[in-house]
Structure 1
């Protein structure tokens, strides 16, 4: 039977797919509604935090929490997939919201904020992982993949309505994998998801768009996909 924490995660991420639908053409302007979902995820992460941080094992008389002994490293690499896809979608002919220079600047800024906050929180709080190792809260993998999913949704979601569902669904899967890999509690994953979303949105809100806002022939990716199609 699936643990209650995973059911909660699936329900929250199912709601996220709807709550993170593409905004209007003024999406780059700050609106309070844009912080509801990430704030809710981060709050849920804090409220659900397991303060004891001690893994339950058969040795102490109860059932182990490590789901089916599942272990793999796919999530170590897949966490970066949405960020690569931000450029990959354009290579196959899809049109992003911003040109490559602005996109790259936003990505760098968003990840600097995201990874910086993850690092500070991990080192400050020093929460223990389910497997007994250190620096669990928040989940950096989850923060990374949700930041990428947010960027994908902003760049492509308005013209390609399926993108937010796929990107956030993929991100949710990585979050689940962090839990079943015995690396994080659901509190770590929930907070990481909200942090990743909020970090990338903040990068968009504060970006000055000093270059072209829309892709042009100067975009180095244009020649690549035009030569294919």
Structure 2
């Protein structure tokens, strides 16, 4: 990675960290989980299905920054100055960001396959991740057509928010939630792929800074919502009949995201 790429990555990290820091000042309490009786989802009350609003503070701040960058002059200037600086260095355009957006999720499945167990089993994490991807798509795709922000390279008007970055941070948040209680540093390692994806969306001249930061927020938010919805979805899929077998697997094909479901009664 070149010095310039590291500089852009560091700048993006600082902006994301700053948004999180400001948001975190509203409440410094940690999330409390009081002696769960079974394998529960952290930050959620699985019995009452209450969403922990503290977990929404940081993604809301990131989304707020992105939305503000569409109209606030100072943030718009940062968008343009960053794009101009990137163009001056003329970095190579690569397509790795098409794959790194899914890397954290692939790692979760790979680690579980070799015995490094996460929070949930195959079916459970597939439902959660598939739900996260559906929420991410349901938010970002319509917004692109509503906002109609022109991309830095002028190729179309679907710049805001960054869908690649949203998927990347949704995947990274998924990895974090699966491993943060057993191996914190392993859990946060997924964010390196997310930051890489966001940086290269800018280096490839596809997105502005604000697009990427908003995408990060939408991605984290989507995964948090997926964990909240999981008990409800699991109840719907399994119901009261514990003898039913269900196979759930998210898929991505031809730029479409969805869930494949096979259910045996």
TM-score range, shorter chain: 0.7 to 0.9
Q: Confirm or deny: 8 A CA contact 2:169 2:220 kept in the other structure.
A: yes
* Number of equivalenced pairs: 209
User: Would the alpha carbon gap of residues 142 and 23 (structure 1) be closer, same or farther in structure 2, given more than 3 Å must change?
Assistant: farther
Q: Which runs of 4+ in 1 moved over 6 A?
A: 15-19, 50-57
SS class of match (2:154): coil
Q: 1:118 is matched with which residue: 129, 140, 165?
A: 140
Distance in 2 (alpha carbons) for counterparts of 1:162 and 1:51: 36
Shift in Å, 1:169: 2.4
Aligned partner of 2:54 in structure 1 is 33
Distance in 2 (alpha carbons) for counterparts of 1:114 and 1:87: 20
- Gaps (5+ residues) in structure 2? 25-29, 34-39, 46-50, 239-244, 248-265
1:190 lines up with 2:213 in the alignment: yes
User: Would the alpha carbon gap of residues 56 and 112 (structure 1) be closer, same or farther in structure 2, given more than 3 Å must change?
Assistant: closer
Aligned partner of 2:185 in structure 1 is 162
Distance in 1 (alpha carbons) for counterparts of 2:123 and 2:11: 39
Shift in Å, 1:31: 1.3
User: Would the alpha carbon gap of residues 150 and 23 (structure 1) be closer, same or farther in structure 2, given more than 3 Å must change?
Assistant: farther
User: Would the alpha carbon gap of residues 206 and 95 (structure 1) be closer, same or farther in structure 2, given more than 3 Å must change?
Assistant: same
SS class of match (2:230): coil
Distance in 1 (alpha carbons) for counterparts of 2:173 and 2:19: 11
Distance in 2 (alpha carbons) for counterparts of 1:40 and 1:91: 35
Which of the pair is proportionally richer in strand?
2
Q: Confirm or deny: 8 A CA contact 1:22 1:164 kept in the other structure.
A: no
Q: What are the superposed Cα offsets for residues 165-187 of structure 1, whole Å, 9 maximum, x if unpaired?
A: 31112211211111111110011
Shift in Å, 1:163: 2.4
SS class of match (1:133): coil
User: Would the alpha carbon gap of residues 118 and 36 (structure 1) be closer, same or farther in structure 2, given more than 3 Å must change?
Assistant: same
Distance in 2 (alpha carbons) for counterparts of 1:31 and 1:12: 24
SS class of match (1:164): helix
Q: Write out aligned runs for 1:1-229 (5 A).
A: 7-14=10-17, 24=33, 26-29=42-45, 30-49=51-70, 65-66=86-87, 68-70=89-91, 71-134=93-156, 135-208=158-231, 209-210=234-235
Distance in 2 (alpha carbons) for counterparts of 1:56 and 1:31: 36
User: Over aligned residues, Cα RMSD in angstroms?
Assistant: 3.4
User: Would the alpha carbon gap of residues 5 and 169 (structure 1) be closer, same or farther in structure 2, given more than 3 Å must change?
Assistant: closer
- Gaps (5+ residues) in structure 1? 58-62, 212-217, 221-229
User: TM-score, normalised on structure 1?
Assistant: 0.78
Distance in 1 (alpha carbons) for counterparts of 2:209 and 2:80: 15
Distance in 1 (alpha carbons) for counterparts of 2:15 and 2:87: 21
User: TM-score, normalised on structure 2?
Assistant: 0.68
User: Would the alpha carbon gap of residues 127 and 16 (structure 1) be closer, same or farther in structure 2, given more than 3 Å must change?
Assistant: closer
